[in-house]
Structure 1
């Protein structure tokens, strides 16, 4: 069986982290989102077909021609034009039944297994508390798909479309008939309607496991928390006698943990990272390769991408630091509002309630701060932004 994985989009809601990196390669738990997606379906997939677009060469370079022994074929979607259009790019490769997963949606292995076991075409659903924000699925008495209604004000059921499918190759005929929606995209839900109108049965796979669409920066933190909750202790790097490592912590080969450091898991420290002396790492934290977190630095529940440097006397909480960020001494991150309400963040020009009581900052690649800088909760700084010494940053910068 083929596993078609959609990984062509830029992920503009994730900016600035996706300014020069495709979203499916963003790390959670120290590994790209795409690898976690692959892991869930290794038992049922004989070949991956990855649909690439934005910075597709980066995806090829990172994943290569196989993942854990399963071959990878790449097809390109030159312009983002909807899910049906993305799936259509795999037609030249597909000659048997296949499943479709998104490269930025985390599920557990029971979902691809259930799709693989279902008969013919199939759609995955999951119960949600507020269906009005989703495509809502109605099920016929025989258990097949009856209808999908997009974001209804009066939902007929509580079953949301997960966005994962299984198809027979005959689906490509119906994708070819699919017309552009008002959004200018070719929607796979219209393709499903065409299949139904032509009396094709579509199985409904009900799924009640983990489901996370990693579309915005704080959702990457949630993904990191989920993944690190399942790691097991594995210490292969160099840990000084005067350091203390507690709980489920992974320290990769060639990483260094110096005297006076305390690491409380779950946490992962990638190769060539250097922690300490006298640093404190706690919560669900992923320290990327080549990261330096030095003297008097506390990092809590955060993701530090490769090459980031927090050399001394700083606090980083519930935050994401892009590649090669460099924070001046005494840079402090606020991760809690004074009124104790959930933190808001601007996404594509609109203020969004993140639902997180604690959320720090998102810094694009190459950001540099001077000494004694304060960054307010929910602030985003675009790639290569410079912050002057002593500044208090209350608003986003560099995201035009």
Structure 2
């Protein structure tokens, strides 16, 4: 079995951060979200991965490389424009050949991995398998409608009036039958070749499309609140590791990871918290579910339930919450700013706030 990883999306819901960075490389507990998917693929026993890339191809190639760091062999497949998930299958035809494959959306986060579902697919007699999970607002997802016996009776992509609350999780398993399906369908009103249309074609032509409703945690990390929630979930499971330097005036409560070269001076840290290598935190409060990237500086600051990416600085600012702060950002005091701040800041920005 092979894998097809989709890492070409533009991440419009995370702008302005995605104007300068690939959304698949945004960090969850200081590790790019794409890495979690690649590790899940490796742990399922798959080694050959085709990766669809678009405008951010250079950045993804630089960070992911040839896949050796994950024990994978990665082949990059360029997509000229985001023309739909089924279009990704279409352009990967030569790479995939007649092999079964798992298609994994690179900005999706699924706790528990995919080993069991890959094994079950190999043992089953299906042309495709999809994963479903109930969501509060299915209008932003592909949606499946099941009958009383659990069989799929209808599929729709981002419907205005969903027939159910079952969203399609961004992990699919296919046999070679899907190649006939993606060639048979036409673009949707959105101008894309929809994978839901390809799945519906398989059903209509007598193929068995199996569905499984998952009970574990899944997120499409396409919005700030989703990134923060995934960060919270991963930090829930960390174990304390203090490889950096902590002075005698610093108070640490809960689980904290302090990477090598990082320094804590006169701070209050309430875990779970992760602090990246070579960051320096002085006179500051870090609250639960906060990730600080590598090479950051925090001085006389308060922050919790937030993600701060590499090489950013926060000085003299009180009570930052529920914020996603990009790389190379400066946050500092300014006049006439409110006392509480919620920030979505693009890379290499400077923001001046009241302390």
Structure 1 length as normaliser, TM-score?
Answer: 0.80
Paired position in structure 1 for 2:259: 252
1:289 corresponds to which of 287, 291, 294: 294
d(CA) in 2 for partners of 1:237 and 1:194? Answer: 56
Name the structure where helix makes up a greater proportion of residues: 2
Paired position in structure 1 for 2:101: 98
Paired position in structure 1 for 2:15: 15
Paired position in structure 2 for 1:201: 208
Which fold has the larger relative contact order, with Cα–Cα distance below 8 Å and residues 6 or more apart in sequence? Answer: 2
Paired position in structure 2 for 1:236: 243
The secondary structure found in structure 1 opposite 2:94 is: coil
Mark the CA change 1:141 to 1:8 in structure 2 (over 3 Å): closer, same or farther: same
Mark the CA change 1:149 to 1:78 in structure 2 (over 3 Å): closer, same or farther: closer
Paired position in structure 1 for 2:48: 47
Q: Note the C-alpha offset of 1:169.
A: 2.1
1:292-322 Cα offsets, whole Å, 9 max, x none, are 001x211211111111111335432221221
d(CA) in 1 for partners of 2:26 and 2:206? Answer: 41
d(CA) in 2 for partners of 1:314 and 1:132? Answer: 37
- The answer on 1:369 being equivalent to 2:351 is yes
Mark the CA change 1:49 to 1:326 in structure 2 (over 3 Å): closer, same or farther: same
Indicate conservation of the 8 Å contact 2:239/2:257, yes or no: yes
2:342 corresponds to which of 360, 365, 370: 360
Mark the CA change 1:262 to 1:100 in structure 2 (over 3 Å): closer, same or farther: same
d(CA) in 2 for partners of 1:328 and 1:135? Answer: 42
Structure 2 length as normaliser, TM-score?
Answer: 0.89
Mark the CA change 1:333 to 1:201 in structure 2 (over 3 Å): closer, same or farther: farther
Give the 5 Å matches for 1:131-170: 131=138, 134-139=141-146, 144-150=151-157, 151=159, 153=161, 155=163, 157-170=164-177
d(CA) in 2 for partners of 1:246 and 1:191? Answer: 51
- The answer on 1:177 being equivalent to 2:159 is no
Indicate conservation of the 8 Å contact 1:333/1:361, yes or no: no
Q: Note the C-alpha offset of 1:139.
A: 3.6
2:78 corresponds to which of 60, 76, 79: 76
d(CA) in 2 for partners of 1:233 and 1:15? Answer: 33
What are structure 2's unaligned runs of at least 5 residues?
A: none
RMSD over aligned Cα atoms = 2.3
Q: Note the C-alpha offset of 1:253.
A: 0.8
d(CA) in 1 for partners of 2:168 and 2:182? Answer: 18
d(CA) in 2 for partners of 1:237 and 1:199? Answer: 59
